[in-house]
Amino acid sequence: MAEIQKERKYWDEHIETMPREELEKLQLERLKETVKFAYENSPYYKRSFDAAGLKPEDIHELSDLSKFPFIDKKTERETQGVGSFLGELCCVPEEEVIFISSSSGSTGVPTISPFTKEDFDEFQNTESRWFWQVGMRPKDRYIHALNFSLYVGGPDVIGAQNLGALCIWGGTLPSERLLFVLKTYQPTIIWTSPSYAWYLGETAKKHGIDPKKDLSIRTIIVAGEMGGSIDTTRKAIEDLWGAKVYDFYGLSDIYGACAAMCDAKDGLHIAEDQIYVETVDIHTGKIIPNGEVGELVYTTLRKKARPMIRFRTGDIGRIDQTKCSCGRTHGRIHILGRKDDMFIVSAVNVFPSDIEAVIRGIDGITGEYLVRIYEKDLTCKYNVEVEKNSDNPESDEDLAARVSAAIKARVGVKPAKVVIHPDGALNTRSEHKSKRIIDERSLSYNI
């Protein structure tokens, strides 16, 4: 199969380029099956639908899904372990589950994500689709530099193996060891986080390794943070490595990478044959038109172990369902940030991703930053801390004013203060995800 597909543009041309009308017909068929299966096999969904006065037969068209109740992380936590180890959201007995992943628990109790054999195989076929989309071919050597410990993105390496690439299960190796692997085995593709891609490139240079000349990486896949979809951050990583950077997006609640960037780099194609996307108002939960910014809500269309019906992701963004220049018809999601991370200053919605986009494009600073959110006089304020390049002769005052003005031009409201640190003083460099937001507020700021 790998030899047959080697010269194809698409992994699965029929699915990826399906006309919109046919794709939506397929979605409706799968949605009806999923809702019926969930109602008949999940104690939670039966109770929830009955309480809302709804039956699976009430779905006649895709828009009918909007009548059904939402679920969210809180639902997962409250139903997990109730009645069985897998909990009330699950639809199959434990003996049919072959794999579970777990969330980090960074926002509460860790939640598991179970898969049947069929679920897992479809999951990995979708991963193969994304790898093929960013140019991976059987001739490539691929190093999977993601956490394998319970993380849902760990098994995605199997999607690369199914494609036929030579795969190196790197995991979370220390930087020096990973650089040794990169130099010794010369892989052509790596997947890690944006922060770590930047950190690893800087570390390589400090060890006398030129990522462009001494290593063979031509493609970097990033996920887990916003950076891959921020043009200035992506370009900075590409310039550092001399490689193309593609952003992937996934959720522990569904599976590894649910969406991926193509060569057009205009959003991330989401697997609409597997996931139905709605956009809702973050305050009211009411459906808003595709293309408008709101909270993204996902419904799985194939998962059997634990269907996710109207799952509120907490991700703020939009979906563009116009045909992409790459020829794919599946919608492209554009993520602005997390609902939990967004804050409001002087009636302006501020996303840390917008601040990062500014910082990465300013000359004279390292690109490292920290956003500190706090309250003063019962209002929300924020400071931005950056590092000054060691060879920058500019005064701290002038640099702070330049950074502040640039942020205001992009975000709409300037920081209360810009703090300048020397190169290396901020503790934001990380071997994996970086912590760049510190929220010191004690008041409740609902959005």
Give me the percent of the chain exceeding a pLDDT of 90.
73
Q: How far is Cα 108 from Cα 103, in angstroms, rounded to an integer? A: 9
> What contacts 233, CB < 8 A, 6 or more positions away?
194, 198, 226, 227, 356, 357, 360, 367
Lowest-confidence segment of 277-291, 298-312, 340-354 by average pLDDT? 340-354
pLDDT, position 9: 95
* SS3 per-residue string spanning the chain: CHHHHCCCCCCCHHHHCCCHHHHHHHHHHHHHHHHHHHHHHCHHHHHHHHHCCCCHHHCCCHHHHHHCCCECHHHHHHHCCCCCCCCCCCCCCHHHEEEEEECCCCCCCCCEEEEEHHHHHHHHHHHHHHHHHCCCCCCCEEEECCCCCCCCCHHHHHHHHHHCCEEECCCCCCHHHHHHHHHHHCCCEEEECHHHHHHHHHHHHHCCCCCCCCCCCCEEEECCCHHHHCHHHHHHHHHHHCCEEEEEEEECCCEEEEEEECCCCCCEEECCCCEEEEEECCCCCCECCCCCCEEEEEEECCCCCCCCCCEEEEEEEEEECCCCCCCCCCCEEEEEEECCCCEEECCEEECHHHHHHHHCCCCCEEEEEEEEEEEECCEEEEEEEEEECCCCCCCHHHHHHHHHHHHHHHHCCCCCEEEEEECCCCCCCCCCCCCCEEECCCCCCCC
Q: Is the pLDDT of residue 111 over 70?
A: yes
pLDDT, position 103: 80
Quick check: 328 and 17 in contact, CB under 8 A? yes
What the block records as the tokens of 308 is 């996710």
Strand order in the sheet with 417-422: 417-422, 379-388, 365-376, 437-439
Long-range contacts of 53-58 (CB under 8 A, 24+ apart): 56/32
**Token pair 């992380």: residue:** 73
In this structure, which topology does domain 343-439 adopt according to CATH?
GMP Synthetase; Chain A, domain 3 (3.30.300)
pLDDT, position 234: 93
pLDDT, position 82: 95
Q: Span 50-72, mean pLDDT?
A: 98
* Arithmetic mean of pLDDT over the chain: 91
Q: How far is Cα 428 from Cα 417, in angstroms, rounded to an integer? A: 19
User: 118-136 pLDDT, tens per residue?
Assistant: 999 999 999 999 999 999 9
Q: Span 97-117, mean pLDDT?
A: 83
pLDDT, position 434: 66
Cross-strand partners of 295: 280, 316
Q: Span 207-236, mean pLDDT?
A: 93
Q: Is the pLDDT of residue 4 over 60?
A: no
Q: Span 340-366, mean pLDDT?
A: 84
Quick check: 261 and 229 in contact, CB under 8 A? yes
Residue 433: pLDDT band with limits 50, 70, 90: low
pLDDT, position 151: 87
Quick check: 288 and 274 in contact, CB under 8 A? no
pLDDT, position 230: 87
Sequence letter at residue 102: S
Cross-strand partners of 438: 372
User: 368-426 pLDDT, tens per residue?
Assistant: 899 999 988 767 899 999 999 989 999 999 999 999 999 999 888 899 999 999 988 88
So where are the chain's domains?
1-338, 343-439
Lowest-confidence segment of 304-308, 412-416, 436-440 by average pLDDT? 436-440
**Whether the predicted model's global pTM rises above the 0.75 cut:** yes
CA distances from 352 to 357, 370, 435 (A): 9, 10, 12
Quick check: 305 and 114 in contact, CB under 8 A? yes
Q: Span 245-251, mean pLDDT?
A: 95
- The listed CATH number (3.10.450.50, 3.40.50.12780, 3.90.550.10, 3.10.250.10) that belongs to domain 1-338: 3.40.50.12780
Q: Is the pLDDT of residue 447 over 70?
A: no
Quick check: 375 and 366 in contact, CB under 8 A? no
Q: Span 11-33, mean pLDDT?
A: 98
